A and B are shown apart, each in its own frame.
Chain A
Amino acid sequence: MTTERGAPILELRNVSTHYGLVAVLRDVDMDIYAGEMVCLLGGNASGKTTTLKTILGYVTPSEGDVVLDGNVVSGMSTAEVVRRGVSMVPENRRLFPDMTVEENLRLGAYLRRDRSAIEAARETVFETFPRVRERLKQKAGTLSGGEQQMVAMGRALMADPKVLLMDEPSMGLAPILVEQVFEIIKKIRELGKTVFIVEQNANMALSIADRGYVIQTGQVVLADTAQNLLQNPLMREAYLGEL
């Protein structure tokens, strides 16, 4: 998938983001190409989530541009960025707990009007996660952690996004569920989606991603293929838990 490279589908060009006077991202450069799965690794407070928020328009970068499919999207509202083809699976899944699974999915396709396309997206979700179909009428908050993650992914897929962002999908889950979640992500990968995934669990993330970026105090310190990052001694020391 890394072989054919046109223009990147999502690009961060020299992006800096400030919260008030505090610089959270400094001069960040990233490219994500169609069909790739790229992960962003980093410790606490390194700027991982802010990167996603900047892409999605929750915050506007103080310098630099976010470019989606050739168009600058930084400065646009979140709704507009979503309309242009970015979906997110939020941290902790963030389903609408009091809505049914079905309603959650429908909200994922909120901006789409084409009924047959929505129906097709639904079918894709059901094929990928048969469990979701079984739970359609159930309130999302009553599902198990793994099922919720499937619905969250399904909801994001309903928008048929150009880029799918995932914010720490393994966060707050028991180890056995973490494995389950990465199985889910693999399935999405098999659909050929472009995925940008933010993770603390570097081992897991690198085992499924094509490439990775490592971010530290708001700066990109490493950028390489997943394979190389797994071998990188610095990486092994800092993030992969080996001394």
Chain B
Amino acid sequence: MAARRWVRTGAFAGIVTIFLALVGLIGGFTDVFLIGDEVTFAGLMLLLPAFVAGFVAAAPRIEGGERREMSLGEAAVAAAVAAASAGFVFALAVLFTDLIGDERIRPIFLNVSPSLMEFVAFGQSTVVGAVILVALSTMAGVLGGVLRAAPPVIRRPVTAAVVVTVLFGFLQRVIPIALDQLSLERDWLYHPIHDGLTWVGAAVVAAISAGISLLNTRFGARVRGSLSSSIGGRSGLAMSPVRLIASVAAVALLIAAPLLLGSVISEVLGTVMVFALLGIGLNIVVGYAGLLDLGYVFFFALGAYSLALLTGATLNVYGVPPDPAISGDLNFYIAIPIVMLIAAAAGLLVGAPVLRLRGDYLALVTLGLGEMVTVLVGSPWLVPLVGGPSGMRGITDAAIGGFAFRDPQRFYYLALAFVALAAFLSWRLATSRIGRAWTAMREDEQTADAMGISTTRFKLLAFAIGGAIGSLGGALFAVKIGSLTPASFQVIVSIQVLGLVILGGLGSIPGVLVGALVLVGLPGLLREFEEYRFLAYGAAVVAVMVLRPQGLVPNVRRSRELQEEERAQDEWAKAVEEGETPGELGPPAEVTT
């Protein structure tokens, strides 16, 4: 019975491995080194599914209302069965490919390259390679299983060490630059030739992270407790001291980042900030007011193009006079408030016709509106205004007295300033009467109405404010790249922004920042992965929705919602046990009249 479950888990992991190989995440990365000469990204991708299968197979199960932990031996057996199945499934696929010839599969799956075939055969004949593959998978799985079944005092530090070390391996383009900037020696940590961690470096990183994790497990609670009582009690801050320290550190890092990381990475971080602005804006519409808007690119484009027009950018078109039909000659900082006003007005215009729509219908209509923008800015019809397919150039660099902001590091600070402003505004809104009205409206529109909350007005307000902040993102984007083409304003922008808002946690401002960093920053930092950006997007969003539906840095209310559901169920169960009638629980049923 149990064995069958393990095999199933393993087979699934094997299929995942096949998938990873087919999309090129194994074959294309045989020379991306994470640690030393041995651990490559391809190797990680090849064995990670088996490791996870082992980890999952050894997880405690709840059977007949009892939590059953596995002993180390049982865990090892379960994990071995699962991981061996994973390896077996993948090895079968390799053997099959070899049998019919990989050149016959390549026309369909481009990534089934000779170098992939060589890699998965470990340079041996296919059959020997398959045996090695199963053996290595099994070992990886057993490691996973044993780790899962180990007591927390071992599991936590080991997990921390592995995760942080791999992360350091990934950040091989980021951390060495920071070390250089700080004039610290780097060669001991990162391999000078092929960029990955050295074994010494990996060991140090692993030891430090394991140590921190151990300290946290042993003393963390006590330190937090004494911190809360000594600082938290007096300062009257709503935040816990740990959160406070973390926030201060995060802000310091945000400010220091471009100085530490140089202009190439600052470029990426500038994009992250633009998306953070878009996220903060969309978060107001979706996270606060609960209106699912899939056409947010509308405001992004509106902000970019109206800034271009107001500040005297020229058309990128031959044979047409270079000045657009409407052209201002305003300073960036004077144009910005006007751009935001235009966007707010547009928000009202977009909002008004869709006021009566909810949920899926609203999403579909806004999706259509967003698509219209893409078509419009690229259409020949608007060539005299926005340059059509070839777009506009010569957009202001937002200079203050000759101090231009086009340079990536400077742009980052400009964008950071606007993000800070928008975040502050958004936070004040959330805690205001307006924010309360939005929350009520999101939870139950009709009842909010009955409380005297004019839902029409608050919906329009959300569209207007969200739109204004989104246009700010567009305007900054225009400053950043200096020229505009319709290619930058595709529907995928809406999806990306929604993705980062959901990943970070709906309604949470720090969540938006984390979401932008993860979904926009990471793929940008790891250039090789650029083409896998959307694959990673999808995977990340699915993983978060399944494992942590409240998002990475959840809004306090939402996480409370999710946790209390469980607590309430526990209490209910207890009440039943004690023979009381707890009454009905949970939200009242949907009422239709």
A residues near B, CB below 8 A?
A: 49-50, 53, 56, 58, 77-79, 82-83, 87-88, 90-99, 103, 106-108, 110-111, 139, 141-148, 155, 159, 172, 174, 176-177
Set B448, B560, B583, B591: member contacting A145, Cβ < 8 A: B583
B423-460 vs A, CB cutoff 8 Å, 1 = contact: the mask equals 00000000001001101100110111111111011000
Q: Would you give the shortest CB distance from A151 to chain B, in whole angstroms?
A: 12
Contact of A94 among B567, B571, B588 (CB under 8 A): B588
Cα(A137)–Cα(B264), bound, Å: 49
Report the interface size for chain B: residues with CB under 8 A from the other chain.
36
Given contact pairs A94-B446, A96-B443, A110-B437, a sample of 14 additional A-B residue pairs in the complex whose CB atoms are under 8 Å apart: A49-B593, A79-B453, A95-B447, A95-B588, A96-B440, A96-B447, A97-B443, A98-B561, A107-B436, A141-B585, A142-B564, A144-B581, A172-B588, A177-B583
What distance in Å separates the Cβ of A190 from its nearest Cβ neighbour in chain B? 24
Query: B14-26, CB under 8 A of A: which get 1 and which 0?
Result: 0000000000000
Q: How many A-B pairs fall under 8 Å by CB? A: 108
Q: Which residues of B contact A (CB under 8 A)?
A: 433, 436-437, 439-440, 443-444, 446-454, 456-457, 557, 560-561, 564, 567-568, 571, 581-589, 591, 593
In the complex the two chains form, is B451's CB within 8 Å of A141's CB?
no
Chain A residue nearest in CB terms to B443 = A96
Contact between B447 and A144 (Cβ–Cβ < 8 Å)? Answer: no
State the CA gap A95–B443 with chains docked (Å). 9
Q: Which of B452, B454, B456, B457 has the most CB of A within 10 A?
A: B452
A92 vs B440: C-alpha distance in the bound complex, in angstroms? 17
- Give the CA-CA distance A93 to B505 in the complex, in Å: 29
Given known A-B contacts A107-B436, A107-B440, A141 and B452 have beta carbons under 8 A apart:
no
On whether the beta carbons of A79 and B589 are closer than 8 Å, the reply is no
Q: What residues of chain B lie closer than 8 Å to A82, measured between beta carbons?
A: 450-452
Complex CA–CA separation, A83 to B67 (angstroms): 54
Q: Which 5 A-B pairs have the closest CB atoms?
A: A144-B583, A82-B452, A97-B587, A142-B568, A145-B583
Please give the distance in Å from A56's CB to the nearest CB on chain B: 7
Name 11 A/B residue pairs within 8 A (Cβ), A-sorted: A82-B451, A90-B450, A94-B446, A94-B450, A97-B587, A98-B557, A99-B439, A139-B560, A144-B581, A148-B588, A172-B588
Question: Which residues of the other chain, B, contact A83 by a CB distance below 8 angstroms?
Answer: 452
Chain B residues near A77 (CB-CB < 8 A): 454, 456
B586/A97 in contact, CB under 8 A: yes
Residue in A103, A107, A159 whose Cβ sees the most chain B Cβ within 10 Å: A107
List the A side residues contacting B433 at CB < 8 Å: 110
Q: Which residues of B contact A142 (CB under 8 A)?
A: 564, 567-568, 571, 585
> Which of B436, B444, B449: most chain A Cβ within 10 A?
B449
Enumerate chain A residues within 8 angstroms of B564, measured Cβ to Cβ: 139, 142
Instruction: Report B-chain residues with C-beta under 8 Å of the C-beta of A110.
Output: 433, 436-437, 440, 451-453
Report chain B residues within 8 Å CB of A95. 447, 587-588
From known contacts A99-B439, A110-B437, infer whether A79 and B560 are also in contact, taking CB-CB under 8 Å: no
Contact A144 to B450, CB < 8 A, known contacts A94-B444, A95-B588, A96-B440: no
- State whether A94 touches B591 (Cβ < 8 A): yes
Q: How far is the CA of A90 from the CA of B590 in the complex (A)?
A: 12
- The CA of A142 and the CA of B449, in the complex, are separated in Å by 23
Q: Is the CB of B452 within 8 A of A111?
A: yes
Contact B437 A93 (CB under 8 A): no
**Cα A172 to Cα B564 with chains together (Å):** 24
B447 contact set on A, CB distance < 8 A: 90, 94-96
**CA A71 to CA B560, docked complex, whole Å:** 44
Query: Are B584 and A144 interface neighbours, CB within 8 A?
Result: yes
What CA separation (Å) do A103 and B452 show in the bound complex?
15
Q: Which of A58, A91, A98, A146 contacts B583 (CB 8 A)?
A: A146
Taken together as a complex, chains A and B put the C-alpha atoms of A103 and B439 apart, in Å, by: 10
**Could you tell me the distance between the alpha carbons of A144 and B571 in the complex, rounded to whole angstroms?**
11
Q: Is the CB of B446 within 8 A of A79?
A: no
Closest to A53 in B: B593
Residues of B close to A90: CB separation below 8 A? 446-447, 450, 591
Contact present for B450 and A88 (CB under 8 Å): yes
Residue of A nearest to B439 (CB): A99
Cα distance A148–B584 when bound, in Å? Answer: 10
Can you name the residue of chain A whose Cβ is closest to the Cβ of B587?
A: A97
- The distance in angstroms between the C-alpha atoms of A58 and B591, with both chains bound, is 15
Q: Bound complex: CA of A172 vs CA of B591, how far in Å?
A: 11
